[in-house]
Structure 1
Amino acid sequence: MAKKLVPEAKQGLAKFRAEVAREMGVPFSEYNGDLTSKQCGSVGGEMVKRMVESYEKNL
């Protein structure tokens, strides 16, 4: 197993994922087996979009 480079990042990404999911109306929780792949993918896609926008803004 690979060593985690920034252990604190996991908690930060979980908080970010919950924030994005809440804004999109996707009910993320500890168990997400009842969500569709479209719902999960839309949250992940929005997270990447926001991270890219943030990075580009800070260039």
Structure 2
Amino acid sequence: MASRSNNRNTGFENLKYEIASQVGVNLKEGYNGDLTSREAGKVGGNITKKVFQTFRDSQGK
């Protein structure tokens, strides 16, 4: 079960870095406490949009 959880984390990390790159936010590995609220919000907001879009698509909408 640990590897399954680890795979999810890796998938989420990949998504996070992909989205950050798309919106022009430079994330580095590890701690990113130097991000502004605006930058963090761009990444988090777009992750949320992507997750909901994937869910909607899986529901056949």
Q: TM-score band, normalised by the shorter chain?
A: 0.7 to 0.9
Equivalent position of 1:39 in the other structure? 39
Equivalent position of 1:24 in the other structure? 23
Q: Normalising by the residue count of structure 2, what TM-score does the alignment of the two structures yield? A: 0.79
In the comparison of the two structures, how many residue pairs are matched? 56
Give 1:50's aligned amino acid.
Answer: K
Q: Normalising by the residue count of structure 1, what TM-score does the alignment of the two structures yield? A: 0.82
Question: Alignment RMSD, CA only?
Answer: 1.6
Counterpart Cα distance in 2 of 1:10 and 1:58: 21
Counterpart Cα distance in 2 of 1:38 and 1:49: 16
Equivalent position of 1:53 in the other structure? 53
Counterpart Cα distance in 2 of 1:54 and 1:7: 21
Which ranges of 4 or more aligned residues in structure 1 deviate by more than 4 Å? none
Q: Which has the higher helix share?
A: 2
Percent of pairs identical after alignment?
Answer: 32
Unpaired runs of 5+ residues, structure 1, are none
